Structure 1
Amino acid sequence: MNNSRIRWYMTRLKLMPFVTYGLLIATVLMYLAEILLGGSDNSAVLLQVGANVGQLVAQGEWWRLITAMFIHIGLLHIATNGVMIYAVGTQIEGLFGHWRMLVIYFVSGIVGNLTSFAFGSMNSISAGASTALFGLFGAFLFLGVGYRQEPYFQMAARQFLTLILINLVLDLFMPSIDIFGHIGGALGGFLIAMVLALPARFGKLPVWQRIAGTVVLLAAAGVLGYLGMVRYAG
């Protein structure tokens, strides 16, 4: 294989949103595992595969803050979130790059699940990629604030702000939806996008801004974890 062919393949790989594809595949595989184990709406199965349950997190099962974002309850749930992972994930990965996309997704999901741990229903089972998805929405919000010189980012930020607000209003009328997880995910996405920033070709963010984002993000995660532990200790 000659050098030009190798460069062509490397360019294709660089442009391919393989992180988004990987997250989507992992989510689908987890759903199939739920089906094989007894059904995606079976509470025992959801607990077995790692859904977010506050009492269990308080007992030390912190890994549920991560696994919960790959678990879905019902076909409509995974179908809706799967489409959004692809649609929004490919955009974020194209802008931020591969490793930043991965960090945004996981940090947003964890912060969203921590918010649910701290403020959500104490007797519910929480699961789904929506905490991470709201983080991707939050990352777009930050682009509108941090890169005001870019008209596209301004337009996208307004669209995603509208999407967030509509979803939160709908959440108020749907008790089964974890509104706190959504709010926390959006906040986590906004902050981690501030910390990571876009690649240098879009311009550099002030160092103080990135440091401030780091401090607020770590403080928020620590406070949420503490509030959740205190809540379940009682």
Structure 2
Amino acid sequence: MDTFELALARSLVQKEAYTWFPPGVLFPELSLFKSNGARGILVRIVRGGEIESLDQLLKSSFDEAKEILKDHPYQAITVLQFITYLSSPDEHLIRVLSNLERHDTAPDIAVYTAWFDFENKAYSSNLPWFSKGILPKSVILEAADHSQEPAELQVLQQEIVQILEERHAEWQNVYVQTSSKAVYSLLVIIVGMYLWMSSVGSVNSYYVLTKFGAKINERIVAGEYWRLVTPMFLHLHLLHLMVNAFALYSLRTAEWIFGSNRFLLIFLAAGVSGNVASFALSPYPAVGASGAIFGVLGALLYFGTQRRDFFRRTMGSAIWMTLAVNLLSGFMIPHISNEGHIGGLIGGFLASAALGLPKAPDRLYQPVAAVVLTSLLAIGIWRGFIS
């Protein structure tokens, strides 16, 4: 089983972007960790024959998650206890394992259980359907097959170390910084604008929104062109502000990838694109940073076209899920400007394509992306004026 554990660890490190946790600690228990956006994922590989109490194991998993949240910048942790058995668990034990989970909201921690018996090569878990990718069945079966082949534990361990070293070099090549000064500056601006609006009157009143620069088509046609920029810094109410502020903070990885200056340009270009799309396609007043935030998602999608394997391993599923949920919400919830969201998404993608990645060579399509973005903005403004 030692070979199985290391073979599984190698596959998870190589294919699923996990790392040892704590680094280099293998026995008596092997733990692996990875980031999935704002949520951390911890997999504990435990031998069933060495567990004294399943309840105690559950408690220790929860306590471990709390410790991680104290020391790492995550909003939530999911723990998967992966228990291995030499033979098939009996029916009573299977029922216990099926219900061995714990969920808390303060802090946000979810603990699930998976188990595998070598006798039948059977894998089961109580993971919900949307979390099955935490520990893919194909990876487990591959490791089980490998464990039957002669292999030196030291060789497997060295391979894992080499993969992690290569991964570290890859991350250094992807991230140009680890600070989020642009994100924090934008958060200060939008919160400050909200407080300023609140000091004048009700933030969702037509008078206050008009005074501070909401997107109002008639005013833009009359010559108040700044209303294609200012709405991205305004919000209707406290919940609107909190949702967008949290979304922007959660996407600060984009600033680490593009750098502060490029990130700010992408955010502003996406915000303007969203406002222009809303001006062209929606007659209703609009405010909010969501168009610009969709643009940040668009920038990360562009990054995915350039670093496909890295994107898939580290953030792809989270980005696609976030995008799908927010677009669906926009169609289902009244008074949300999906025109602005989609316009921001396209604007952010094209702006990032025009700017390129900091450490990448210039591409022939960069000026083309800039021309396409400019053309779309011009068409959108023209459409708004003739509507």
Alignment counterpart, residue 97 of structure 1, candidates 238, 259, 267: 259
1:73-152 paired onto structure 2 within 5 Å: 73-88=236-251, 90-120=252-282, 122=283, 124-148=284-308, 150-152=309-311
Residue 179 of structure 2 is matched in structure 1 by 16
After superposing the two structures, state which structure 1 stretch, 163-172 or 214-223, moved more: 163-172
Residue 63 of structure 1 is matched in structure 2 by 226
**Higher Cα radius of gyration:** 2
How far does residue 216 in structure 1 lie from its aligned partner after superposition?
0.8
One-letter code aligned to 2:208: V
SS in 2 for 1:63: helix
How far does residue 151 in structure 1 lie from its aligned partner after superposition?
2.0
Residue 378 of structure 2 is matched in structure 1 by 222
SS in 2 for 1:127: coil
How many residues align? The count is 211
Maintained 8 Å contact 1:109/1:129: yes
Normalising to structure 1: TM-score of the pair? 0.85
Normalising to structure 2: TM-score of the pair? 0.53
Q: How far apart in 2 are the matches of 1:213 and 1:79?
A: 33
What runs of 5+ residues in structure 1 fail to find an aligned partner? 1-13
What root-mean-square deviation, in Å, do the aligned CA atoms of Structure 1 and Structure 2 show?
1.5
Q: C-alpha deviations, 1:27-72, integer Å up to 9, x for none?
A: 0010001111111111110110111111111111111111100100
How far does residue 153 in structure 1 lie from its aligned partner after superposition?
5.6
Alignment counterpart, residue 368 of structure 2, candidates 175, 187, 212: 212
One-letter code aligned to 2:265: V
After superposing the two structures, state which structure 1 stretch, 126-135 or 50-59, moved more: 50-59
One-letter code aligned to 2:383: L
SS in 2 for 1:219: helix
Alignment counterpart, residue 183 of structure 1, candidates 321, 327, 342: 342
Residue 7 of structure 1 is matched in structure 2 by none
Shift in alpha-carbon separation, 1:147–1:209, aligned structure 2, 3 A? farther
Alignment counterpart, residue 173 of structure 1, candidates 322, 332, 342: 332
After superposing the two structures, state which structure 1 stretch, 45-54 or 153-162, moved more: 153-162
Q: How far apart in 1 are the matches of 2:320 and 2:201?
A: 38
Q: C-alpha deviations, 1:194-233, integer Å up to 9, x for none?
A: 0111112xx3252x211221111111111111111111xx
Maintained 8 Å contact 1:146/1:205: no
Percent of residue pairs identical: 33
Q: C-alpha deviations, 1:85-104, integer Å up to 9, x for none?
A: 1121x211111011101100
SS in 1 for 2:202: coil
Residue 72 of structure 1 is matched in structure 2 by 235
